[in-house]
Amino acid sequence: MAEQSYFQHFPSPAKLNLFLHIVGQRTDGYHELETVFQFLDYGDDIAIRTTAGDEIKLLTPIDGVNNEDNLIIKAAQLLQKQAKYSNGAEIKLNKVLPMGGGLGGGSSNAATVLIALNYLWQTGLSFDELATLGLSLGADVPIFIHGFSAFAQGVGEQLTPVYPKEYYYLVTKPNCSISTQAVFNAKALTRDSAKIDINAAPIDDIIHSAHNDCQSLVIKQYPEVAKLLAWLVEYAPSQMTGTGACIFSRFDTEKEARQIADLLPSSVESFVAKGVNRSILHQRMQEQLR
């Protein structure tokens, strides 16, 4: 493909873990999880322009992250190598999702780059092939590649489509970042939650009766999370997503969510978004392919 003179934009959405149970640990150290992923209609924006040379350039470096460690660069180089593709790309990231928040921002960025470059470079890989590549970058990448809400098992790569109600969420981030690795390495982490039969009840009943096994550990170690969560549950069902630090609060209407957002201290980062069962990236790609 010839060098483009313009950038094309692709959304990189956030996800929520509507619950997160840890049901075991494998001999390789990875945890066996059960969770329901749902996307938000909110996220980062990634702009990409194809180039005639073979270099992958990230024009918007992230503070504190070396380019060679950035999942955006890694994803592009991985696809380039897998497809034996000789040209390159320039990439710009407009980062709005908080880092270290449990919203899957880095994994989402990697997935968006894989899907977008597969389209722009016309490399012709299937979603299953892209998801296999993505899994080598992170356990959450495949869900963003496939783009549907799912009950996930294993390390998060075994996906069964589900259709939970699409609520509005107030997503808040306390003034702290939490290391996923530190949470999963903690001795006090619960690792023996009972497995779920996803067919035993309606999916929303299962979600509302479930919990996040990481939350009790995190609120003991991070008072900022504990304090904000205690405030939020006075207004709406609220829970941490992933390993934190972000908390999501569930509302039936956008107006209700924004009313509570207006009560938050200015020091708390927040946004309101709708849960969607189909990724906004996939919605955009369908429009591109028409």
Which strand (E) or helix (H) includes residue 32? Answer: strand 31-51
Catalytic residue, candidates 15, 44, 173, 213: 15
> Is 81 among the residues known to form the active site?
no
125 SS3 class: coil
CA distance 177 to 208: 26
CA distance 204 to 213: 18
> Is 204 among the residues known to form the active site?
no
Catalytic residue, candidates 44, 140, 173, 213: 140
4's tokens: 């483009």
Cα angle: 204, vertex 210, 214; to 5 degrees: 135
Task: Produce one character per residue of 67-80: b if its CB has 16 or more CB atoms within 10 Å, e if not.
Answer: eeebbbbbbbebbb
Catalytic residue IDs: 15, 140
